[in-house]
Chains A and B, each alone.
Chain A
């Protein structure tokens, strides 16, 4: 199980930092920093800069993303912000607006 789970209906205003997986189904406003994977669920609304090993977005994210491994935007996911990651995928049905830096 994920180290940290922000359930649906829960709102965090502030910074989250850690060294374990973080799953968000609720709301987050602030900043998110971890050394592990980040998952943004379909019900999540995140207004935060995200930094992690990988990011999977099924909900809404507004903010810049830095991932050491990869970023995936799932179908139905929405991401507005700049992305810096070695690998980046956008699924059919996802929406994205921003710059991509794949460190070529």
Chain B
């Protein structure tokens, strides 16, 4: 019987509450709450102090930081003024939150890192392909080099890459080089390198997981495609 603790609706605790097991707060607590189990704060519950526990489910008022090692949920009617952190954070419609919210160790970020790492090795070939081409257009004007790049070297390398090492994903390969062709074409070689390095890692990460992003890039690339085809 001992495990669950309840602070009833008619009870006020002024002081720290800590220990093992779960805790349900229906009354008021003026002080920090730190338990190993779950914490439930009822709709009439009020806490002024930091709360830490495994899973926090808040329906009442909290003035203080919330830290859930498993999850933090703000139900409808909850009012929280303080920072919220946990691997999973849920804020239901009707809940009020004011403060910094941080989801630690989210699975999405780790998944994003893997494709990003895979994307980086793919990038260098594109640079290599583009590198020789800008040498020719340098003396010329900016718009002119775009056509030159697209016509001569850009198309063939894409085909070679797709045919030889990556037979199944040929569709993916061509758009990547196209994207990079656009970037180098805009900027001049020397200063452009500084600009490119930040731009490239940022772009491939979001683009690769969702392929439909291509249209965003395609403003320039489509025109080039048509021009090149023409």
Binding site for B on A (CB under 8 A): 1-22, 25-27, 30, 34, 41, 43
Contact = CB atoms under 8 A, between A and B. Distances in A.
A2 B8 CA distance: 8
Given A8-B21, A20-B10, A30 B5 contact: no
B10 to A, nearest CB: 4
Contacts of B101: none
Given A9-B20, A9-B21, A27-B19, A16 B13 contact: yes
A10 B36 CA distance: 10
Contacts of B20: 9-10
Interface residues of B, number: 27
Interface string B1-22: 1111111111111111111111
A17 B14 CA distance: 8
Nearest to B7: A4
Does more than half of chain A's interface fall in helix, strand or loop, or is it mixed?
A: strand
B19 A30 contact: no
Given A10-B23, A20-B9, A20-B10, A5 B4 contact: yes
20 contacts: A3-B8, A3-B9, A3-B11, A5-B4, A7-B19, A8-B2, A9-B3, A9-B19, A11-B16, A11-B19, A14-B30, A16-B13, A16-B15, A17-B12, A18-B8, A18-B11, A20-B8, A22-B8, A26-B2, A26-B5
A41 B2 contact: yes
Contacts of B12: 15-18
A17 B229 CA distance: 82
Interface of B: 1-23, 27, 30-31, 35
Contacts of B31: 14
Nearest to A33: B12
Given A15-B13, A16-B13, A5 B6 contact: yes
Contacts of B3: 7-9
Contact of B16 (A1, A7, A14): A14
A43 B30 CA distance: 25
Which of A2, A14, A20, A21 gathers most chain B CB within 10 Å? A14
A18 B12 CA distance: 6
B18 A10 contact: yes
A9 B17 CA distance: 11
A20 B4 contact: no
A27 B35 CA distance: 13
Given A10-B17, A14-B13, A18-B27, 10 more contacts: A2-B6, A3-B9, A7-B3, A7-B4, A11-B18, A13-B15, A15-B14, A16-B12, A20-B8, A27-B19
